[in-house]
């Protein structure tokens, strides 16, 4: 694969997207992670990445003084006011108005399980609507084929351009989104991520590697009065290839026989199950994840496809038992810390009933990487 050109608008857009997402979903140092809300700092990695973007745009004020969360937000505002994403557009697309998430449309026996999503919807209408052009839940919970104990909460928010007029807006959004993580993890105790964030700046030069429009059109709105949203789609196969290469590199770095804790185990299985979507995206095909398995499988032998089949089988059989002792007061104060403590607790009590064949997954994914059919 050719080297990625870091001077392109595509790379700048993706880099800024990563920094904004990390910051708005917490992006703390280890100290901030442990001591939130007493400390709401910014990780050294995020500071480094912001300096690179700012220097590229000749924004020199960012390099002066201590970079804390307040002036980090100010720097992001300055960057978004200055930057524009321009280049060749592949096609126009639109996201149709989504149905509103309605708890009453789900099975009665799952009401308690899905109640945190209803709370997220309420917070979105009350606190996030002024900042957002749209806020969506996508994935299996949206399409009613979720698996309790496995399915995570996949969401995307589209921030209005006006958000970047004042740093206080970003700081308020950061607190709201981080606070919502407790509800995400009530649904999935091993949730690995927060809310995906895109901006109105991105819509006119949108890479579907962020999230395919097909997936958005299968979503449900977490705010009332959802509207049609228009996109100009750009080519993002190069970034898709980078994502795929990162995932395959991850599997090549693993030790096949090493035991995994529950948090790492689910992450590994998640990446294996994500392979069909990433593989197709590297070919320029962007679909809702559930539609990628059958299409991608056609390009591989039955032997090659074993780890993907096994990951899907394990997903359907995934079970967690036992109470979550840290899901009370601690999660309301520091949600991510509470859920990491719960993942340790799950391991301590042997709460995952799955007998996962780590060797099969790791060696199978390594085999896919070695064959290099997607390079």
Q: Which two tokens stand for residue 18?
A: 């990563």
DSSP string, 82-122: H--------EEEEEPPPPBP-GGGS-GGGHHHHHHHHHHHH
The pLDDT tens digits of the residues spanning 123-177 come to 999 999 999 999 999 999 999 999 988 899 999 999 999 999 999 999 999 999 9
Low-confidence ranges of the chain (pLDDT < 50): 1-4, 375
Select from 334, 372, 351, 142 the least CA-distant residue to 265. 351
CA distance 308 to 320: 22
pLDDT for the residue numbered 126: 96
Select from 95, 81, 98 the least CA-distant residue to 222. 98
CA distance 289 to 140: 9
Q: How far is CA 268 from CA 56, 288, 294, 314, 354, in A?
A: 35, 20, 21, 12, 14
CA distance 196 to 22: 9
Q: Which two tokens stand for residue 344?
A: 């340790």
pLDDT for the residue numbered 320: 63
The pLDDT tens digits of the residues spanning 27-68 come to 999 999 888 999 999 999 999 999 988 888 877 767 555 789
pLDDT for the residue numbered 3: 44
- CB atoms closer than 10 angstroms to residue 332: 11
Q: What angle do CA 10, 13, 15 make, to 5 degrees?
A: 105
Q: Return the domain boundaries, the chain.
A: 9-82, 91-235, 238-318+354-371
- Provide, for the chain, the percentages of residues in helix, strand and coil under a 3-state DSSP scheme, each rounded to the nearest 5: 55, 10, 35
């Amino acid at each position: 694969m050719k080297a990625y050109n870091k001077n392109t608008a595509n790379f700048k857009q993706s880099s800024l997207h990563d920094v904004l997402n990390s910051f708005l979903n917490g992006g703390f140092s280890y100290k901030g992670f442990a001591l939130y809300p007493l400390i709401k700092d910014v990780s050294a990695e995020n500071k480094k990445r912001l300096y690179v973007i700012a220097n590229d745009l000749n924004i020199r004020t960012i390099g002066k003084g201590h970079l804390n969360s307040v002036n980090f937000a100010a720097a992001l505002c300055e960057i978004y006011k200055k930057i524009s994403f321009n280049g060749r557009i592949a096609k126009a697309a639109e996201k149709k108005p989504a149905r509103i998430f309605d708890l009453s449309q789900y099975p009665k026996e799952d009401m308690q399980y899905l109640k945190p999503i209803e709370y997220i919807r309420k917070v979105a209408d009350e606190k996030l609507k002024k900042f957002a052009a749209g806020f969506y839940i996508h994935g299996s919970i949206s399409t009613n084929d979720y698996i309790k104990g496995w399915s995570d909460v996949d969401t995307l928010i589209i921030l209005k351009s006006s958000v970047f007029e004042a740093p206080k807006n970003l700081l308020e959004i950061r607190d709201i989104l981080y606070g919502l993580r407790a509800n995400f993890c009530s649904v999935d105790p091993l949730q690995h991520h927060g809310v995906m964030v895109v901006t109105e700046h991105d819509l006119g030069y949108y890479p579907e590697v962020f999230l395919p429009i097909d997936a958005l059109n299968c979503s449900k709105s977490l705010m009332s009065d959802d509207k049609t949203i228009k996109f100009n789609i750009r080519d993002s196969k190069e970034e898709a290839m980078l994502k795929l290469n990162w995932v395959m590199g991850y599997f090549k770095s693993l030790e096949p026989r090493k035991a995994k804790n529950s948090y790492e185990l689910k992450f590994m299985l998640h990446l294996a199950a994500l392979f069909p979507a990433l593989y197709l995206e590297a070919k320029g095909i962007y679909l809702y994840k559930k539609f990628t398995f059958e299409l991608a499988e056609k390009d591989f032998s039955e032997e090659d496809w074993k780890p993907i089949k096994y990951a899907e089988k394990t997903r359907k059989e995934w079970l967690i038992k036992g109470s979550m002792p840290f899901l009370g007061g601690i999660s309301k104060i520091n949600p991510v810390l509470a859920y990491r403590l719960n993942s340790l607790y799950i391991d301590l009590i042997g709460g995952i009933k799955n007998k996962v064949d780590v060797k099969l997954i790791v060696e199978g994914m390594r085999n896919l990487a070695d064959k290099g059919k997607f390079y």
